[in-house]
Structures are given as structure tokens and as C-alpha cells.
Chain A
């Protein structure tokens, strides 16, 4: 007892100050601003400059308006994206409802199948569609004489591309209801249909708005799909590429960039508001939803989900099948020649290597940066103004289409006056751009996970004279580890499959596989392009499997997560 009753003589103790909160936030702010804010700023400025760099006001925009072809592209982009969004939502809502609100069998499998397209480049479904409905496709007749190449193809492939994202958001929104609302409705004698209309629909309307906004943005800014099945239908995403790469008209490219950026920002603003309202509806005391068993409804939805699953598997399966066929459509015998060429051709093989370096580099750098920025914000370290700046810069990329970000990088880093000019054309710059492009979602994953940890834990550590860095090492790191594995997986898969931001940045030496797929399409080598897309998908699947396994092992090894007393 003697030691415990020891009285310390002096109130003040010498401590080594922990400067983490002072040094890290400003440094990180500079890094992230360089990766996001400054390039986008460079693009915005460029839209108002002439070829000679002088300010020309709205001249570029007027020049854009004077070219009828370009204006039509803007209209195409808007109208096709809206149609695709409506169709994707019409399919995703009942699908998500079936997944989380019914007792339909096979929900786990259906969920996996719905999320499968997330692991493939957006081009893969386009290839599947080409084999099914293209000029020499098996089911060409189903299009009633319409050509796949054009609005039909863009809409079909875009629906396919946006569907899993919409399902994810909707099923999250639908599973976040409160069971007591249903019990109250039953006590008031409301039947199943009335309960659906008066409880379910209102409770998920924000999730629906959010899902529609995200679907619209994905489709509106996607480059891969219109470049494969767009035919002669111009959209903004392909125009910006043609203007910059084909005509070297950087100023006009910047104008199209602004046109891509504005609707994206509006849609994300809507999404942000919707999410805020959705959060406000769910209190910590909500009772989780228990799925109800209604045999007829469940059967209908099961049949519907089966059809959707067949379509998804059919389109992906067709892409895989096409990649294995000797010579479509004349020689349908199967072989690996398309794959062999990928590994024998030095350029293609290098592209695969580049993609792996890009994916690993992005996963590594991105996870590190996101862990830092999320930690600083969730644990409220350093100056409040700098923290707000960090949060702003971290939230920005989600509203910026990849094409816009990539073009911004060209403007910003190509400038000889920029001390970072040396990065131009390097794989490091491509990695930085990819990290920036996908920054927001993982950043929020880290913030949300760390926010679940009581703030007073840090104060308790501080009272025991352990500073932020020490607490991060001893406590936060261990709590965050499973989330960081997910974050790394997210960065890896997105870096493997992304096209849009990189289309302006690659060189012959740094070209990644996803771009090589586009180049193969441009060379009309669909078989090889499909093979490459399949390889990318398989690598993504492997990465996802490793991610899930690792996460499972870590959680099992962390005995403290078990609740049993």
C-alpha cells in the first residue's frame, strides 16, 4: 500500500511534448491540396484562358456553344445518363428490397452476384453486350433492328455499370429502418401493402435520392462504355478525350471539363443533403428490421432477382466466353490464344505489370494517407481551421469526375514552372492521381470507424501522459486495422479497374492494363480486349478474396472484439 499512498510532491511534471498535432495536419493538407485542389483549380482557370495564356473571359464557352456537334454531346450525356439512371433504379430498388426485406432464399448469393460488376472495369459489360447484341451478336434480333452501337448500347451497359452501386446504397438505406414502426403500423391494423407505402417508402426515400445521384454521376462521367459501344453517338466524356488528345485543344477540353464537373457537383450536393437527412432519421435506439415472410411477394421477387442475376452472369459470362473464342463469330472453338498474346506481347505484359504496381502503390500510399487524414479528423487533432481544410480537400474528389481530375493533372503538372514538373509522365503521378480520385470513400470509412471510439479514451490516455502518436500506436491502430484492410482492398480494386483519370496521364512506359484494354478496342481487337478485362477482373477478385480473408483473420485474432463475458 505504501506505493499507492505515495504522494507526489509537485503538480507539474516534465513531459516530452508530442508535436504530432502541430506538424502532421499542415503537411498533410499541403500534400492533399496538391493532389486535388490545385489540379482542379488549374483546370478551372484554363477554361477562361486563351491559347496564349491570356484571360479571355467566356470566349471558350462561346466557342464551345458555336460547335453544334459539341452541344449535342452535352445533351446526349444528360439525357442518356438520366434514362440509364431511371432504369438502373427501377431494377435496383426491388432487388435491394428483396435482399434486405424479404425471406427470399439465396439472398447471400444474389448479393454477391449483384456486386460482381464492381470488380470488373466498366468496359467488361460492354464487351459482353457486343458479343450478345453487336453486329455479329447472338441475340442481335432482340434489339428489333436497332444498332447496339449508340444510345442503346450506352444505356444498357451504363445500367449494368450503375446497378451494383445503386443496390449497395439502397440496401443500406432499406436495412436501416426501425422495426417498431412496423409493429406500430400493425397495431393500427395496416396491411402489408399499406405498411410498404406508409413506412418503407418514406424511410428509404433519402437512400433512393442518394442512389440515383450516384448512379447518374457514374454514368455521366464514364469514359469506358461510350468508347466501346458509343458508335457515332458523342457524349461529353468521349468529347473531352477527342478534344485534348485528338485536337490538342486544351482550352476546349477545360470547358468540357467544367461541363462535366458542374452536374457532378450538383448531384453530389443532392446526395450529401439526402445522406444528412437519412442519418437524422436513424437514432441509436432503433430496433433492427426483421424481414417478414410473405410467400407470394417473396416468390415474385425471387423470380425477378433470378432474372437480374442471369442477366449479370450472362453478360459477364459472354465477355469471358468471347475472350476464349478463337475467332468470333466464325470459329467458336475455345482456346487461350487471346490470353497468350497478352503475356507474349511485351507492351501488353508491361501494362499488366504497370497495373499491379499502380494498384499496390495506390493501396499502400492511399491507405497511409487516408489513415492519417481520417485519424486527424476523427480524433480532432491540431488547429481547427487546418482540420476543416483537410476535411474539405478529402471530401472534394468524390464530386470530381476522373476525366476532370486527370485533365487537371495535365494542366497543373505539365506546367514547367511547377517544381513538381519532374513527376510528369511517371507512374508516381498516376498513383497520386488514383489515390486522389478515390480518396473520399476510404477517408470516410476511417473517420466513421474512429468516431465510434469514445473521445474520452484519448483524454484518458493524455491524462496518463501518452500523446496522440502513442495513443494511435497503442489503441487506434488496433481498432482501425480491419477497416484499413478494407480501405487497401478498395484502393486496389479501383486502381485496377479505373480508366477515366488515367487516360490523359499515361505514357508508353507507364500505360496500365485498363488503358491497354481501350487501346485494343480502338484497334478493333475485341477478343484480346475482353481477355485483358477478364484478367483485370480475376486479379480484382483475388484481391477481394485476400482482403476478406485477411480481415476475417485479423478480427478473429483480436480477442477483445468478442462480446462473450
Chain B
């Protein structure tokens, strides 16, 4: 009984442990490893999540991000490593003994229950009166903005509405941790963006520690407090969205967060770098490290003009493809040097004059402080 009652009340802990809980991360993962047969799906993952944070786990499909989430939930058993939640070790507990709510990509709503009865599902085993339960369900429906849809069945709700019901259902037992497994991937682009913001608002309002798995870097960058980039079962980098975008740890992270021109470095002397047949001058901040294999820059860092711009060393090229992106143009430029690979540039659509067209000869330059040197892997 005592265990069930915790759903609605703040359990008073000894003062010392509460202080410790504030100092220590809410969720702490150490050396977590999971194998399926001979394949290592999650490999020696270490991760701390402070209370109240929204953490996104980002990676391509098959990188182990969903398995990591399922390990935290207890749907899979880890081969080694520990998971501590609110100070206690949970890695040996079955899912029903852990303290989390979960939202799936497929919504996984109970098809034979109305929105209200889906949300109330977990409350049924609690010692609540009918009115208490109904009040709690109303509150949750209001939280996700579905007041008028209490009696509709999942088949009568839109995808976005279904996912809101799933979110309310996951929050019904006031869990300490919210797990979101690609919650927006099944939705249309428009609904996805608005539900993404709503999700973030709800998460902020109730201050629940949350871990969201996604393969969509825009989604991760736009709502996460911090992002974990995973690849082949390993964590490549952890950081705030801005850190990841501006200072990717390696080429994989750089490429996964957005398109990047990566030119193999052939020589470095001082702040002059030869890469991919071009010559670049670095700004002050990029300390070239000896093993740096690639000189990288985002397409948006590229300037197109008739003359080489200021600090950067320019190179001439011919426009080999043009794509119209609304307010911007995406150009592929074939340099006029031997062995030079094509460069990608994204430039604002010019307000005056003609935009560069197919076959035009242009000069390409990059601001020195937009260049960075990266290794193939971190």
C-alpha cells in the first residue's frame, strides 16, 4: 500500500539524502552494455541526467538509441553496467517496479478504451475513489488540451490527438522519469512541429526529467536541454544543441547534425591549410591538432561572389546544380582545379540582380571563423 500511495504525494526523505539528490544526477548510467548475440548494441554507455532536464538521444537507425531507452525502462536486461535513478540502483528491477512513464512512436493506445479510460488505465490499481480518479483524468486531459475528447476512442482521434492521450497516460502515475521513444515520428510535418513545442511546454511545466529518442536532428536541437549523439552503440558526443552544432567532436556528429563540406587535409602550415585541393586560412580559434583529417564548413558558411572575400582564400568554380529552397538557394559548385570534389553552398536568395544559374562561373570563399578541423571519429 505504501508503495502505491507514492503516486500522488511527495515522499518525505531524510534531509541529507534530499540534499544529496540535488547534488547528484537524477539518473546516472555507468558502463551500460547490451549485446544481442555477438552484436554489441549498446557499448559501455555513461550518462548523467540532472533532475528536470529534457535529454534527447539522437542517432541514425540501428545506433542503439532505442535499446538504450528500453534498458532504462527495463524492457531489456543489460549485460553489464548500472542504472541509478533517484539514488537507487534499478537495473535489476522489472519495468513494473521502476518509476517511469513511456510514450511510443506507435502511440500504443488501448484500442478498446476511450481517451479518458486510456489515461485512467494505470490509476485503476490505485486505492482511489471514483471521483478522485475522474478528477485526475480531467486534470490530465486539460494538461494536454483534450478536454472535449474524453469519450472518443483512439480510432476516432487524429494522430496528434492520439499522441497527446499517450502523453497524458504516461504522466498519469506522476512518474519521476518520462521516456519518449520517437514520439513524433509517425506524425505529419505540421503536426509534428506544433506537438513538439507542446511537449516541451508540458515537460517544463511539470518539471519532469525526460529522455527522448529521435533520429530527427532538428527535433533534437530545437527542444532538448542537452543532446546525446549515438553511433554504433557508443556515445559520440554529449552537449547542448549549440555546442554540438558549433563544436562537433568529430565528422560523424558534424554530418549527422546537418550537411557539411568535409575536405581531406593534405597539409597544414601555421594557419594555412590545404584541403581537397583548395587553400584555406584559419581564424584564430581553431587550434589545428596534428591528426585532424578534415577541414569542414557548413554550406551556409560559403560566400559566393565574383571576387574572393576578405580573409578566406577563394577558389573559382562552376555551378553544377541549383535547388530553390524558398528564401535560400542550394548550389553545388564544381571547382576549376584538378581533383577537387564538389562544394555545397547555401546562400540567401539575392534581393537584387540575378541569382547564380547553372553553368555560371563564380568564386567561392569561406569566413575563417566558420572553418573547423575534425577527425573521422572521436
Contact B108 A464 (CB under 8 A): no
Q: How far is the CB of B1 from chain A (nearest CB, A)?
A: 9
Contact B13 A9 (CB under 8 A): yes
Please judge, given known A-B contacts A8-B11, A560-B112, whether A459 and B206 are in contact too, CB under 8 Å. Answer: no
Please judge, given known A-B contacts A14-B2, A474-B121, whether A463 and B101 are in contact too, CB under 8 Å. Answer: yes
Q: How far is the CB of A477 from chain B (nearest CB, A)?
A: 9
Contact B173 A464 (CB under 8 A): yes
Contact B173 A4 (CB under 8 A): no
B residues contacting the other copy or chain, number (CB 8 A): 65
Chain A, interface size category, equals 35 or more
- Check B205 for interface membership: any CB of A closer than 8 A: yes
- Check A28 for interface membership: any CB of B closer than 8 A: no
- Check B155 for interface membership: any CB of A closer than 8 A: yes
- Check A562 for interface membership: any CB of B closer than 8 A: yes
Specify which chain B residues have a CB less than 8 angstroms from the CB of A5 in the assembled complex: 205-207
Contact B139 A3 (CB under 8 A): yes
Determine, out of B164-172, B230-238, B244-252, B284-292, the stretch whose residues face the partner at the interface: B164-172
Q: How far is the CB of B278 from chain A (nearest CB, A)?
A: 46
- Check A558 for interface membership: any CB of B closer than 8 A: yes
Contact A453 B104 (CB under 8 A): no
Q: How far is the CB of A436 from chain B (nearest CB, A)?
A: 32
- Check A418 for interface membership: any CB of B closer than 8 A: no
Specify which chain A residues have a CB less than 8 angstroms from the CB of B122 in the assembled complex: 464-466
Specify which chain A residues have a CB less than 8 angstroms from the CB of B353 in the assembled complex: none
Specify which chain B residues have a CB less than 8 angstroms from the CB of A560 in the assembled complex: 111-114, 153-155
Contact A13 B121 (CB under 8 A): no
Encode A442-484 as 1/0 by CB contact (under 8 A) with B: 0000000000011011011111111100100011001100000
Specify which chain A residues have a CB less than 8 angstroms from the CB of B156 in the assembled complex: 562-565
- Check B61 for interface membership: any CB of A closer than 8 A: no
Which one of B95, B99, B136 lies within 8 Å of A3 (CB-CB)? B136
Specify which chain A residues have a CB less than 8 angstroms from the CB of B175 in the assembled complex: 8
Q: Can you name the residue of chain B whose Cβ is closest to the Cβ of A13?
A: B3
Contact B86 A14 (CB under 8 A): no
Q: How far is the CB of A126 from chain B (nearest CB, A)?
A: 46
Q: Can you name the residue of chain A whose Cβ is closest to the Cβ of B75?
A: A459
- Check B90 for interface membership: any CB of A closer than 8 A: yes
Encode B146-188 as 1/0 by CB contact (under 8 A) with A: 0000000111111000000010011111111100000000000
Name the residue in A462, A467, A470 with the highest tally of chain B Cβ atoms < 10 Å from its Cβ. A462
In the bound complex, CA of A108 to CA of B113 (Å): 34
Specify which chain A residues have a CB less than 8 angstroms from the CB of B2 in the assembled complex: 14
Q: List 6 A-B contacts (CB under 8 A).
A: A4-B206, A7-B174, A13-B4, A454-B106, A463-B73, A474-B113
Q: Which residues of B contact A (CB under 8 A)?
A: 2-4, 6-13, 73, 75, 84-88, 90, 93-102, 104, 106, 108-114, 121-122, 124-125, 136, 139-140, 143, 153-158, 166, 169-177, 205-207
Q: Which residues of A contact B (CB under 8 A)?
A: 1, 3-15, 17-18, 453-454, 456-457, 459-467, 470, 474-475, 478-479, 558-565
Contacts A4-B143, A561-B155 supplied; 15 other A-B pairs, CB < 8 Å:
A4-B174, A9-B6, A9-B10, A10-B88, A11-B84, A11-B88, A15-B96, A454-B104, A456-B106, A459-B75, A460-B110, A463-B96, A470-B125, A560-B114, A560-B154
